Amino acid sequence: MSNLFKKIIGIDENKNTDENNNFNEENYDNSFASDQKETEENSWLNDDNYEEGQLSIDVYEKQNKLIVKSTIAGVKTEDIDISINNDMLTIRGKREETEKIEDGQYLYRECYWGAFSRSVILPVEVQAEKIEASLENGVLTIILPKAKSSKQISIKVKG
């Protein structure tokens, strides 16, 4: 049995306890570990404070600009907030349901309604004051002009 596994399950080779003597690796039931993992992974589902979905985006590069696109159908332009802080672009918004439907009435429920956001680190510097954004046919397009790249300077080390 590996030392790491022994440490994880609490077996101390220096102690001779009944627990250590009765442990049978072949009969080890990992359902506790599985249950705990499932509880940790799904704990956000029961958290009343968690109300934000993640926005899907495409980011691509052209010669002098970065372009970010996202499908956000059903969102009004006034419900979208785009901000940039250093090299981090953040898109936040809210998609509101126009009709209240009881949970029992749904046959399929795949659309996300409510607040959403997405932050992405930009790979290059951009000219923040020249960023443009538009929403057309449910597709948000953000155009970020690249900043002029500074020249790389080689510095010689004196010895």
- Distances in Å between the Cα of 144 and the Cα atoms of 43, 110, 116 are 37, 32, 21
pLDDT over 90 (residue 58): yes
Give the tens place of pLDDT for each residue, 96-119.
888 888 889 989 888 888 899 999
Give the tens place of pLDDT for each residue, 62-79.
989 999 999 998 899 999
Give the tens place of pLDDT for each residue, 18-27.
544 554 544 4
pLDDT over 70 (residue 151): no
Determine the length of the chain: 159
The ranges assigned to domains in the chain are 3-46, 52-145
Backbone angles phi, psi at 98, to 5 degrees: -90, -15
Determine the pLDDT at residue 64: 93
- Distances in Å between the Cα of 129 and the Cα atoms of 28, 62, 80, 117 are 61, 19, 18, 22
User: What CATH number labels 52-145?
Assistant: 2.60.40.790
